Chains A and B, each alone.
Chain A
């Protein structure tokens, strides 16, 4: 993100067209794929977001900084995104700085509800220039005077080719333009419809709106399959060229030599990268052990064998199937996969159903086996062509509802900024029975959002009124079988963890409801939580 932010900053201050060209050419020549492609797309307006509204950004900042200090700052600076970028307090130990492709990828797939959390985490990890670039990107405010024409000229200079050559192929190129850069850097031939094993832009699904979409669309028009909890990949083997792309066109083959070796076919498949144990999908945590690596040794590959669960076929030999309806592609895919001998590539099965009601029941209570750890369901129209982007209607994702658990508040810690006077970070636990049959609470997670300002005040008062011990910024709150506050916690998944005393770790926990009414002894027990392990 640093180099991209720097480029934006410089372009914004540079009036001269020639100097802009120099800056662009320099950036495009140095930044890696697919970052530079996404950067180019966002500069030329080929990729836009309006993921965050100004009111939300301001609210997030005021949660970190006294609102009066914030408005004094805003008055002085005059631009909201810039003010927030400048005043956002550094959070020591924040996450790794996000790279542009990660941000693009997350924004393309995140729901509206997820964006705020993502944004806060990114702001914590970036420096002020990076925050500025991110906020400009999110609010669609990247106005730095780069036209498509200027971009093409920079590309032409970069590859030392005539601009006309770029223009001839430009219309067929899509972000992040991997083929184009490979050609300009003399690593491959000029891209055309025939460049083998090139990245084909991916078709994405919309989140279904349960209130309106089921009325609008007929169940018989759709196929359903499970939404696997891995990462989306495109695996290609064409004319001896093997590639494994992430959804954003990043070539991740280096980390998955085992998968690459299994691509014993001629064509391009679309599927989910998973870790397989005896043909069964392993939880996402296992796959994480293999992601973001430069390679993989034999031991790692033996412990976490990777493979692909295929759900679409884009190229069958030399035949492009993308213009065929899904029903036909699916038939071709089944035949294609059946021919393969490797156990590393299998078929994502269709889930038969006759009505939306029946499908809803299946989603709530998936059948034994892999569907139990699926993220939900995918719905694909039988007649849908394979279109790049996220068209509304042909494909839907229908995620599983979050898990809920009733836990007891155990510890509270002071927050930051506007919340610095409040105990706003909550550690909660569930009951566990020891060998003697005594029940005690064991912490299972920590949440710091999901409540309103009013609720925060009540929670804070509860913490202060019921403190039994304090160490540093942390207060221990009374929590026993006779007394305690029950929090209904929502979370996306549960994994084994040796770092936690309880042996489990939650994904995305947040306070769903505060159960002022519920006796602490009626909160959930660890074994019932363990049943939810991915």
Chain B
């Protein structure tokens, strides 16, 4: 390892608690409670409760408060997008990651080194959050949730059109769409509105608080109503949105001959959809697909690529073929919220 490599490790290194920044004495998205944490976004595997202090975007802080209660951390500091904040000798700037509301890449600058911890990200337009901003860097720390060439996601609008076509074809049945409560659910709602669907959308109770939070942050969701108090054979011809676990649950039996749908990048693979008894797979993801991952790395041309979690093997191979130095960090504790 050359001197450059060791200087990158001086700024950020992998520890059992997660990525640690010695000169700033903080962790990024730690998987265990720590004194000082920088949090990229509100998904529970990245944003855990019980840290001493948390630095995050105001939206992410609000999400954490909604999930874990107001006292989720000893102290908090809001870092709006683009504002550099000093932590020891390190400058920390949060930059949009395009993943969910408030999601950010943590840009760490120290001496003349820049490391970008991207958290989870995607490159596509999403009506619920600002677009990913590429930041030139020496080390790019990337996820690889969908790091296989099989994952090339179609246009989300086409997938929503598929859903609406099915609703028109089966007016006597309820369409039950499984979507993760933070981010995916609100994005689906916005996509449906963009497609001109202005009827009331019915919500599982678990979505209520995140929907309200998104609306408070200026993401208009249109008319929604709780689906939970519906009678038997309820809501024919309507769309109900629920957390993925609920669509195969007893809860789902109250609806009229429901068609189980699931919005996730994993729906790319037919066997995955069949395992979950999904009848209408919707390939909509808040993560980067293979092309987005490789194009982002090609665009940034970092001196090193560090891969946090996901399918590292294929991305490592691709990096080798493309002359990019890459390391897998194999961080234990990040899981994909789509599962």
Contacts and interface: CB of A to CB of B under 8 A. Distances in A.
Given A83-B150, A86-B152, A69 B271 contact: no
Q: Which of A13, A14, A73 has the most CB of B within 10 A?
A: A13
Contact of A13 (B268, B278, B311): B278
Contact of B149 (A65, A79, A82): A65
B35 interface: no
Interface in A13-50: 13-15, 19, 22-23, 26
Given A76-B150, A87-B150, A23 B273 contact: no
A72 interface: yes
B336 interface: no
Interface in B303-339: 311, 313-314, 317-318, 321
Interface string B155-191: 0000000100000011000000000000000000000
Nearest to B313: A72
Identify which of A26, A65, A68, A69 gathers the most chain B CB atoms within 10 Å of its CB.
A69
Contact of B268 (A26, A79, A86): A86
Contacts of B152: 86, 128
B150 A77 contact: yes
A14 B149 CA distance: 27
B174 to A, nearest CB: 13
A15 B152 CA distance: 27
Interface in A57-83: 65-66, 68-70, 72-73, 76-79, 82-83
A73 B150 contact: yes
A128 B267 CA distance: 13
Interface residues of A, number: 27
The interface centre, meaning the residue of A23, A68, A70 with most chain B CB atoms within 10 A of its CB, is: A68
Interface string B266-284: 0011110110001111000
Contact of B270 (A6, A70, A79): A79
Given A13-B281, A82-B269, A68 B150 contact: no
Nearest to A6: B162
B148 interface: yes
Contact of B314 (A13, A14, A72, A79): A72
Contacts of B170: 19, 22
Contact of A77 (B269, B274, B280, B281): B269
B154 interface: yes
Contact of A76 (B148, B169, B280, B318): B148
Interface in B283-310: none
Nearest to B261: A13
A247 to B, nearest CB: 33
Given A72-B313, A87-B150, A127-B154, A78 B271 contact: yes
A468 interface: no
For the complex of A and B, list the 10 residue pairs with the smallest distance between their C-beta atoms, beginning with the closest.
Answer: A86-B150, A87-B149, A73-B150, A72-B314, A13-B279, A68-B317, A73-B149, A73-B148, A69-B149, A77-B269
19 contacts: A6-B162, A10-B280, A13-B270, A13-B280, A15-B279, A66-B321, A69-B149, A72-B317, A73-B148, A76-B148, A76-B150, A77-B269, A78-B271, A79-B271, A86-B149, A86-B150, A87-B150, A127-B154, A128-B154
Interface of A: 6, 10, 12-15, 19, 22-23, 26, 65-66, 68-70, 72-73, 76-79, 82-83, 86-87, 127-128
